Amino acid sequence: MATIRKLKSGYRAEIARKGVRKSKVWPTRQAAKDWAARVEFEVLNGERIAAKLRLGEVFDRYAREVSPRKRGARWETIRLEKLGRDKIADIQLEDLVARDFADWRDRRLRDVAPASVIREMQLMSSVMNTARREWGLVAQNPLIDVSKPKKPPPRDRLPTADEIERLRHCAGEDLNKATARAFHAFLFAMQTGMRAGEIAGLVWDRVDLDKRVARLVHTKNGRPRSVPLSSEAIRLLKALPELEPVFGLSSRQLDVLFRKSRDKAMIEDLTFHDSRHKAITDLARKLDVLPLARMVGHTDLNMLIKVYYNESAEDLARLLD
């Protein structure tokens, strides 16, 4: 039974049912009684209420309560909104089974690459695990029994010297213009191995030109790191106009402007992120694997070697002599 206590500030409603204890202060006795009745009903009938929830409602709750605490909040929220428009979102939790997710996977593979489907399946699995462990809405995660698409082979794409010159010509060299700075950021990325988001977020307070170090607070894996800067990286920074952040570009602008220059240069299948492959391949000739991993922020040495180190067989052959 609920207990209603009179306070100076209002009325405190307290409930204790099935091991659950909750209390809340309300301005009127009736409001306190109504809240207590509603909460008691939810405690006593929680499983039945949860079973009637649609998967889309769970996506919405996760986007409101969990995603904002993550660095990838914007991507997750957009993705969950899109998933909420798929027919799988209309299925009630009590009816949701592994084959529903398998059907979604097969339909989604007709529209996007396997890597995108894998990322979305990982997101949905996080939603279902939270719904099971923290919210008590489901007894198990059906995605455990759904196989993921086979991962595509790692990209093996490095920019050539000719492509870099074509990009330089199309972007221009006037660093007062955003397009030229986007290409300049690409050159800087090839020196440092920094990701586009890390470069876009770089501010002068975290750059020490004398010690040749850039301090990154917000990184993909959530761990701050300090990036040593080569003489060429320092030269690139000093050539920039006085802007804040350093390159005067958002991540979105950097992506759009780089693509614009790439397309104008008629270069196929090159992304800004390929600069990271180039940097790691070049840096591997100078640094051992552990210092290299520390510099570029990789905790998985296997991925660092297999995915990002793209030394050609011809280059390796020359190192043997």
What's the rounded Cα separation, in Å, for the pair 39 and 251? 45
Neighbours of 268 (CB within 10 A): 9
* Torsions phi, psi for 7 (to 5 deg): -125, 170
Predicted structure pTM score: 0.63
Q: Tokens at residue 240, please?
A: 């920039």
| Tokens 């920019």, residue located | 159
User: What CA–CA distances, in Å, run from 13 to 9, 34, 200, 210?
Assistant: 13, 9, 50, 62
Task: Going residue by residue through the chain, which has 321 residues, state the pLDDT in tens, using 9 for 90 and above.
Answer: 678 888 888 999 888 876 667 888 889 988 888 888 877 766 666 556 566 789 999 999 999 999 998 877 888 999 999 999 999 999 998 889 999 999 999 999 999 989 899 999 999 999 999 988 888 788 889 999 999 998 777 777 889 999 999 999 999 999 999 999 999 999 999 999 899 999 999 999 999 999 999 998 877 766 788 899 999 999 999 999 999 999 999 989 999 999 999 999 999 989 999 998 898 888 877 877 777 777 877 666 666 665 555 556 666 566 666
Nearest to 53 by CA among 131, 145, 146, 134: 131
Q: Which active-site residues does the annotation give?
A: 195, 220, 298, 308
Q: Which helix (H) or strand (E) holds 118?
A: helix 114-133
For the chain, give me the number of helices (H) and strands (E)? 15, 6
CB 276 within 8 A of CB 193: yes
| Domains, the chain | 3-44 (no CATH), 52-145 (1.10.150.130), 161-319 (1.10.443.10)
What local confidence, expressed as pLDDT, does residue 289 receive?
Answer: 73
Q: What is the pLDDT of residue 122?
A: 95
What DSSP line would sit under 257-318, residue for residue?
Answer: HHHHHHHHTT--S--TTHHHHHHHHHHTTTS-HHHHHHHHT-S-HHHIIIII----HHHHHH
The pLDDT value recorded for residue 52 is 74
- Exposure on the CB side of residue 94, measured as CA atoms within 13 A: 8
Q: Tell me, what's the pLDDT at 8?
A: 84
Rounded to an integer, what distance in angstroms lies between the CA atom of residue 82 and that of residue 103? 16
- Side-chain-side CA neighbours of 318 within 13 Å: the count stands at 5
Classify residue 156 by burial, with Cβ atoms within 10 Å: 0-12, 13-18, 19+: exposed
**202, amino acid identity:** L
Identify the pLDDT of residue 317.
60
CA–CA distance, 290 with 305 (Å, rounded to integer):
11
Rounded Cα distance between 100 and 128, Å, is 14
